[in-house]
Amino acid sequence: MIQTVDFFTPIVDDPYLFGQIAAANALSDVYAMGGTPKVALNIVGFPNCLDPQILSDILRGGADKVKEAGAVLVGGHSVQNDEPQYGLCVSGFVHPDRIWKNYGARPGDVLILTKPLGNGLINTAAKADMASKEAMDAAVLSMGSLNRIASEVLKDFEVHACTDVTGFGLIGHALEMASASQVTLKINPGAIPVLPGAAEYAQMGLVPAGAYRNREYAGSYVKAENVPDYRMDILFDPQTSGGLLASVPEDMAPDIIRRMRSGGLPTRCAVIGRVLPKMDHSILVSS
Amino acid sequence: MNQLLNCIGLACPIPVVKTRKALEAFTEDGELTVLADNETCVQNLTRLAGSMNLPITSEQTGEKEYTVKIAVSTEAVKKSQGTEIEVTSCDVPTRRGATVVIASNQMGNGEEALGKALMKAFIFALTNSPDVPETILFYNSGAYLTCEGSDSLEDLKNLEEAGTKIFTCGTCLNFYGLTEKLAVGSVTNMYDIVDMQQKAAKIIRP
């Protein structure tokens, strides 16, 4: 059995969408371990001064996502709080022999990423009222998408290691995988799917503080060759409800990508790099 | 004209927005000094100034105080505001080079052998044209042309030497298992593919 919990404050104005995003985010850990979510509990903080309809919309968004995941929402707990907070505690099942861990990546594998990067940058731009509608819509669609299809497709193949990309950014989570697997991950920045607008906002200096913290933490393990700063910002950008990062045998990758696309994965997925024997740096960013 | 902007106590991205507005309000060249209280803010302002081509210096002037100085050129500010308009306006000099989009390893529809021969001849002909293209984009089975085993490699390398930028779609290379075989130019993604086509003065699709 897998148990996981996550909750946060609103990142979009629409309460229903916020509910969906918070639920997709909380369910993601189960998918990243190769499991199936079964039961969920709401965790809610809400101020008295706001219209209860807002709370009802948040919960409806969450409940719809839990239903889409095939799990059952059995209750929850709410407290009064200065700002709204919402998330879920999720339990899921996985066969003990088939748990995916964030280690086990082998030289010769390739890396698959199942959602585009950049939603932290877009959320920062949104706070500055500078995010375009196109960028915002794409970010909301991506954050609100379950990692279900990606996870289900991967289950039909051999997965050596898997994690979901969240607050530490792509590089932060890739670094965890590289260190734990005793390998070097080579990431091709040109192959990475990026949300529209994210590159522009990075160049304008709308970079979230978390991206700098991620860079500070992981920077010394990373060797980047001829990669402009704004592209590195995207790789360090903290993600809300990001995609799965999976290490799979190279010969299976084309089939996996094809199956994800034909299976209705709502976000862009791509092979974004490969696993190399351990070198001086754990992460190599180079085309 | 010199101006001071106090951003102490303001969380990012507000200082970036305020600085940008202040820069745009300059009517003559001068210096904008911004006071900030965190490193993130300083780094974001450095990116903003970089994107507008304005020189910037910063130093830590207190435990939680950073002084950022931006040398403001009204011309550079105006230029950075107008980039998008310039590209779409009719005043743009039409002498800009073309973007060639090669979406297949064959030219036209018909017999495969003929299509491939035509494509090879097309790329060769490009090398002989007086204005070499600014950019060539390769995607879908076009990706085969920039990889080992392609008959056009030499022509493409000549074009690259003559100043043409050559890009191949990374997704396509992955899909066809060619990632390690790319032999000329660099890898690109769909956003750059869209961007390059939108900004191209002229698009040629053989």
Over range B85-89, report the average pLDDT.
31
Q: Which residue of B has its CA nearest to A130?
A: B17
Sign of the four-CA dihedral A35, B171, B184, A222:
negative
User: Taking a C-beta distance cutoff of 8 angstroms, is the pair A21, A12 a contact?
Assistant: yes
What phi and psi, each to the nearest 5 degrees, are found at residue A50? -90, 155
Instruction: For residue B182, give the chain A residue with the closest CA.
Output: A287
* Total number of domains in chain B: 2
Query: Within a 13 Å sphere around the CA of A97, how many CA atoms are in the beta-carbon half?
Result: 0
Q: Where are the alpha helices (DSSP H) in chain B?
A: 14-25, 39-51, 74-88, 112-128, 153-161, 170-175, 190-199
Length of chain A: 287
pLDDT score recorded for residue B90 = 32
- Any CB–CB contact under 8 A between A253 and chain B? yes
Superfamily name with CATH number, domain A100-285: PurM-like C-terminal domain (3.90.650.10)
Q: What is the CATH number of the domain that holds B136?
A: 3.40.1260.10
B33 and B70 assigned to the same domain: yes
Residues B156/B122, Cβ–Cβ less than 8 Å = no
| Helices (H), ranges, B36-129 | 39-51, 74-88, 112-128
Domain residue extents for chain A:
2-96, 100-285
Q: Does A93 touch chain B (CB under 8 A)?
A: no
Residue B134 lies in a domain: yes
* Closest residue of chain B to A110, computed from CA coordinates: B174
Per-residue model confidence as pLDDT tens digits over A67-102? 999 999 999 999 999 999 999 999 999 999 999 999
Residue B38 lies in a domain: yes
**A203/chain B closest Cα distance in angstroms:** 6
On chain A, the residues whose CB falls within 8 A of the CB of B47 are: 202-205, 207, 229-230, 233
Measuring CA to CA, which residue among A3, A28, A10 is closest to residue A165? A28
- Residues linked to residue B138 through DSSP beta bridges, in sequence order: B102, B168
Residue A198 scores a pLDDT above 90: yes
SS3 label, residue A50: coil
Residues B108 and B69 in one domain: no
State whether B40 and A193 contact (CB < 8 Å).
no
- Provide the residue range defining the domain that includes B42: 2-87
Same domain, B114 and B155: yes
Query: Which residue in B has a C-alpha nearest to residue A124's C-alpha?
Result: B13
* Residue B7 belongs to some domain of the structure: yes
CATH number of residue B79's parent domain: 3.30.110.40
A205 in B contact zone (CB under 8 Å): yes
Q: Note whether residue B177 is domain-resident.
A: yes
Q: Say if residue B72 is in the same domain as residue B110.
A: no
Q: Is the pLDDT higher at B200 or at A243?
A: A243
As a whole number, mean pLDDT of residues A130-137 equals 93
Interval A24-70: pLDDT, tens: 999 999 999 999 999 999 999 999 999 999 999 999 999 999 999 99
B13, A128: Cβ pair inside 8 Å? yes
8 A C-beta contact, residue A164 and residue A147: yes
Which residues of chain A neighbour B20 with C-beta distances below 8 Å?
Answer: 204
Counted across chains A and B, CB pairs separated by less than 8 A come out at 88
- Are B80 and B104 part of one and the same domain? no
Which of B87, B116, B143 finishes a domain? B87
The angle, 0 to 180 degrees and rounded to 10, between the axes of the packed helices A52-68 and A15-32 is: 30
Asked whether residue B114 falls in the same domain as residue B61, the answer is: no
Residues B46 and B123 in one domain: no
Same structural domain, B48 and B132: no
Task: Identify the domain boundary among B21, B54, B87.
Answer: B87
Interface check for A54 against chain B (CB to CB < 8 A): the answer is no
Above 80 in pLDDT, residue B92? no
pTM of the model: 0.71
Q: Of B87, B117, B138, at which residue does a domain stop?
A: B87
Interface confidence, given as ipTM, is 0.70
Residues B82 and B20 in one domain: yes
Nearest to A16 by CA among A45, A54, A57: A57
Which listed CATH number (3.40.640.10, 3.30.1330.10, 1.10.1200.120, 3.40.50.970) goes with A2-96?
A: 3.30.1330.10
Helix (H) or strand (E) holding A57: helix A52-68
* B109 and B52 co-located in one domain: no
**What is the C-alpha separation between A11 and A274, in angstroms, rounded?**
33
B201 close to A (CB below 8 A): no
B94 falls within a domain:
no
Q: Is the peptide bond before A189 cis (omega within 30 degrees of 0)?
A: no
pLDDT in tens, B3-43: 999 998 888 788 898 898 899 889 999 999 999 998 888 98
